[in-house]
Chain A
Amino acid sequence: MVDQSASIDIASLVKRHGATLAVDHVSLTVPRGEFFSLLGPSGAGKTSVLRMIAGFETPDEGTIRIDGRSMEAVPPNRRPVNLVFQSYALFPHMTVAENVAFGPTMQGASRADITSRVRLALDMVKLSSKEERLPSQLSGGEQQRVALARALVNRPSVLLLDEPLSALDQQLRQEMQVELKSIQARAACTFVCVTHHQEEALTMSDRVAVMHQGRVLQVGSPQDLYEAPGSAFVARFIGVSNELRGIVRRIDGERAIVQSPECIGEIQIVLPMHLPIQVGSPVTVLIRPERLRLSTTVQRLSGEQSLAASVDKVLYSGSDRRYLVRLGEHVVWNVRVPNDESGRNGLVPGDNLSVRWQISDAVVLSE
């Protein structure tokens, strides 16, 4: 069944590089107009997926449909997609305007049409004043914009971006994240972006697919992925995650008591509905650093869980302080405390305290 509203419909895509599966039965559906990211460490197969959508690589198995049309045996120059290359791949012997005009020229658009479209595209990326420059005379950020304009001028069904911001410095990168998002809204075009940078993916995307070793581990909104990671890999890859491995000791209705050999004490968890957890099951409990609270008093708020710990290191990072607290010999947790009044509580390494969190803030995974 083909979803007609889908921009991209990928079904059990496989790509082998020698004996290894670079892409392992990947299935994805991207609705029209969505900003979709493929996130994963290098070697996760995300670039392979992108190159197969663009047509530079041929899948060994599976199908790719764009706007409902099968892309089998369709060469890159006849696909309704355009790719923004990681290196931008601007033609060094052509001016900015000539670079942008390349696609429409190849498609046989009329001269007047090309001129107006090039102007529109350069306006969109705010580069109208530099159309007679050569790529080598532009800054990295400007080159990036030219690459975007050169792709968007063709009004593709899908714009593919390969690590679009990786060559930019930190500040420019953050500006461009916002910029890309608003360009996408203006262009009303489906964006598929490959990145290994989790912050980038979370900030820009409507939905993100986390890939690892050729497989898609989880697809969801940035919030879903951050707050309800389906696996320890996703939790670790997206943001910082504190983990505790333990065994379920008792089950009491919706709740359970977990004890960890790695630290002293017991904690209570909410049993996730979809996991078959019994007494004796090994589980991993994940808690985000900003959901933790440090306390030197004994008093507990209602619903709060706590474990005894000692301060290992204090890292000052401007807007907040990061505390590395030790819960056991091999368990060090990251605690993030906003740098307001309460943050100036003068904790120093060696202090004994308790780490606390609301029971609903812990994510439980079965091993």
Chain B
Amino acid sequence: MNSSPPAGRAEASSPVASWWLLGPGLLWMGLLFVVPLSLVLVISFAERGTYGGIVWSFSLTNYLDLLHPLYARILGQSVLLAAVTTVLCLIMGFPLAYYIARTTPRRQGILLLLVMIPFWTNFLVRTYAWMFILRTEGLLNTLLLKLGMITAPIELLYSNTAVVIGLVYGYLPFMVLPLFVALEQVDRTLVEAAWDLYATRWAVLWRIIVPLARPGIIAGCLLVFIPSLGAFLTPDLLGGARSMMVGNLIQHEFLVARDWPLGAAISCLLMLFVMGMMRWLLHAASSRPRQEDAS
């Protein structure tokens, strides 16, 4: 990979790539990302006032409170739901992305548009639509009853199942798009070469396509897993009181319990957890020594 001479580096100082191009992005991120984040970090070490304000004194109480098994359970549940969501998105997204990557350019455009069309409508509205579908006397139950496939309506709404359905629905495009990009770059002749060398369809998939699409698979999984883990709208509306995720917990602490310091502490912990997870994933992704380190 690094074998090519650093031709780009010589050009880096040329007027074509001046540093001030970074300006707007840096300013935006600095003001609206770094500053609030630092605030959250500072608040997480403060204490809650009696009536919900912030008492500016340094303490670790919030973090010690988080050792309570209740929080671990909520985090565990969140990780589980996010993981199930990611796996389902991958299973459904991969064949779809593969098809789009291999079809004619015309059809590619149409299919990619269809994948992205849901974004044209507000996510909240779409989630309400799912409530309408999943309700006890909702669309799905009515249909199944009419078809005689069930005798009594099943309780779908306000369950972990409903949350996963909602999350998969919401984040599937985030899986499909990076997978599509990665799969489209897999040279077709490599597939032919493997086929010519006696590989069955499965062998072509597992030994050629999947390894080569790995960056896309990892990107897709991260793009689905991370927002799923912190989701609060979907579990709030579709999961109800029965399935609380970390996102709901944070929202609850900030808005309902008015315990900003504890909410901030949970936020920081979640962020740390996600960062650790990403590190581990990216490390696992690049750990095939022959792929990157060989030079």
Residues of A within 8 A of B (CB): 54-56, 75-78, 81-83, 85, 87, 89-95, 102-103, 106-107, 132-134, 136-137, 150-151, 154
Contact = CB atoms under 8 A, between A and B. Distances in A.
A76 B194 CA distance: 10
B112 interface: no
A92 B1 CA distance: 11
B285 interface: no
B199 A91 contact: no
A93 B291 contact: yes
B190 A89 contact: yes
B21 interface: no
Interface in B181-212: 187, 189-190, 192-200, 203, 207-208, 211-212
A74 B86 CA distance: 39
A106 B212 contact: no
Interface residues of B, number: 24
Given A89-B187, A89-B189, A95 B290 contact: yes
Contacts, number: 74
11 contacts: A75-B195, A85-B193, A89-B187, A92-B190, A93-B288, A93-B291, A94-B290, A106-B197, A132-B290, A132-B294, A133-B294
B192 A56 contact: yes
A91 B290 contact: no
A102 B194 CA distance: 8
Contacts of A133: 294
B3 interface: yes
A243 to B, nearest CB: 40
Given A90-B193, A91-B194, A136-B3, 12 more contacts: A55-B196, A83-B192, A83-B196, A87-B187, A87-B189, A89-B187, A106-B199, A132-B290, A133-B294, A137-B294, A154-B197, A154-B198
A77 B194 CA distance: 8
Interface string B255-295: 00000000000000000000000000000000010110011
B295 A106 contact: no
Interface residue SS majority, chain B? helix
A44 B30 CA distance: 61
Contacts of A102: 194, 197, 199, 207
Contacts of A76: 192, 195-196
Given A77-B199, A92-B212, A137 B192 contact: no
Interface of B: 1, 3, 187, 189-190, 192-200, 203, 207-208, 211-212, 288, 290-291, 294-295
A133 B290 CA distance: 8
Contact of B290 (A55, A106, A134): A134
Contacts of A91: 190, 193-194, 208
Contact of A137 (B3, B189, B190, B199): B3
Contacts of B196: 54-56, 76-77, 81-83
B192 A85 contact: yes
Contacts of B197: 77, 82, 102-103, 106, 150-151, 154
Interface residue SS majority, chain A? loop
Contacts of B200: 77, 106
B198 A103 contact: yes
Nearest to A56: B192
Contacts of A93: 211-212, 288, 290-291
A136 B198 contact: no
Contact of A89 (B1, B193, B295): B193
A7 B197 CA distance: 19
Nearest to B204: A77
Contacts of A151: 197
A211 B291 CA distance: 42
Nearest to A107: B198
B193 to A, nearest CB: 4
A93 B193 CA distance: 14
A132 B197 CA distance: 20
Contacts of B193: 83, 85, 89-91
For B189, B211, B295, the residue with the greatest tally of chain A CB atoms inside 10 Å of its CB is: B189
Contacts of B187: 87, 89
Contacts of A136: 1, 3
- List the 4 shortest-distance A-B pairs measured between CB atoms, nearest first: A89-B193, A106-B198, A103-B197, A89-B189
B192 A89 contact: yes
Contact of A134 (B195, B199, B203, B294): B294
Nearest to B191: A89
A74 to B, nearest CB: 12
Nearest to A51: B192
For A55, A93, A150, the residue with the greatest tally of chain B CB atoms inside 10 Å of its CB is: A93
